[in-house]
Amino acid sequence: MTKRLLSAAVVLAASVLLAGCFVLGPGPMASYTIEPQPAPGSCHYTYIGTFPLPDPSCTPGAISPAVTQSNIGATICRSGYTASVRPPVGVTEPEKYASALAYGYSGPFHTAEYDHLIPLELGGDPNDAKNLWIEPNDNPNATSTANSKDVLENRLNDLVCSGQLSLFSAQLAISSNWVTAYQQYVGTLPATQAPPVAGPYCSATASPSNDGYPGDYDVQIQSNQPNQRATASDATDTWSGYTDASGSVDIRLYFTSPGEQITVTVGAATCTTSA
């Protein structure tokens, strides 16, 4: 029976691979090792508002051969399954930093999730690099890694485990375009998190640089404009830099007074923050 299920999974995954979608991963392991990630700068995000999508050539998604439609009751629909197959932090943390280099991500790490594109609760492969990416948080005001894709993952798991949606359909939907899948299976995207999508935008926060010089501030800038010149100005000085592939950049201001307004421009967008 096990061999027949595995053969079916291989055939299914092969047909999906030929279609240009997700692939078959190695599955859960007794001991995980740090897996190599794509080359630095080789992966690029696509954004729908603030909602990021991974590069399909780097992160198409990968499924586990240990999870099939016929055994979901003993795997993804069983309490404790994801914890039993999740790689340890000692493996995923170095991978996360390597994924950040691959995607050119330089935003805050405490709000960016090292995300399984096809989540473990939908039979995603636990440690295949094709199923993992550093996911920028879609909420500009986030204080943790919780994000909108998490809501979709839970909803799809509920639908699969209740028999309302096939495992394959859920895996295909979330790996193809999780934003579209959210709209189909959850509803309207969180409006409070979406900035104007008709044109360029930016957001900025400032914090003391802790470089030993009072008045020096680091300005963290996020935008939907990759590889654009960005400036940060207080009342007396202007400093500049260029956004990375995710539209983010950090700029240091010198001799800024606490409470002073800082004006940021990124390409055609303008936003403000305070020291």
What pLDDT sits at residue 191?
A: 66
> Are residues 53 and 175 in contact, defined by beta-carbon separation less than 8 angstroms?
no
Burial-class residue 247 by CB neighbours within 10 Å (0-12, 13-18, 19+): buried
DSSP 192: G
Domain positions in the chain = 13-193, 202-274
- The pair of structure tokens assigned to 35 is 């897996």
What pLDDT sits at residue 20?
A: 46
| DSSP secondary structure of 228-240 | -EEEEE-SS-EEE
Return the higher-pLDDT residue of 246 and 188. 188
Nearest Cα to Cα of residue 225 among 241, 239, 209, 238 = 241
Helix (H) or strand (E) holding 184: helix 178-185
CA–CA distance, 234 with 255 (Å, rounded to integer)? 9
Which residue type is seen at 231? T
Q: Is the pLDDT of residue 19 over 80?
A: no
Return the higher-pLDDT residue of 201 and 20. 201
Each residue of 179-232: pLDDT tens digit? 999 999 999 888 655 444 446 777 778 888 877 777 888 888 878 788 889 999
> Are residues 195 and 50 in contact, defined by beta-carbon separation less than 8 angstroms?
yes
CA–CA distance, 269 with 26 (Å, rounded to integer)? 44
pTM exceeds 0.75: no
Each residue of 91-144: pLDDT tens digit? 999 999 999 999 998 888 999 999 999 999 999 999 999 999 999 999 888 889
58-67, 221-230, 239-248, range with greatest mean pLDDT: 58-67
Q: Is the pLDDT of residue 88 over 60?
A: yes
Number of helices (H), then strands (E), belonging to the chain: the values are 6, 13
For domain 202-274, which CATH number applies: 2.40.50, 1.10.260, 2.60.120, 2.60.40?
A: 2.60.40
CA–CA distance, 175 with 25 (Å, rounded to integer)? 14
Counting residues of the chain whose pLDDT is more than 70, the rounded percentage is 89
pLDDT band at 4 (very low <50, low <70, confident <90, very high): very low
Q: Is the pLDDT of residue 17 over 50?
A: no
The contacts of residue 180 (CB under 8 Å, 6+ apart) are 173
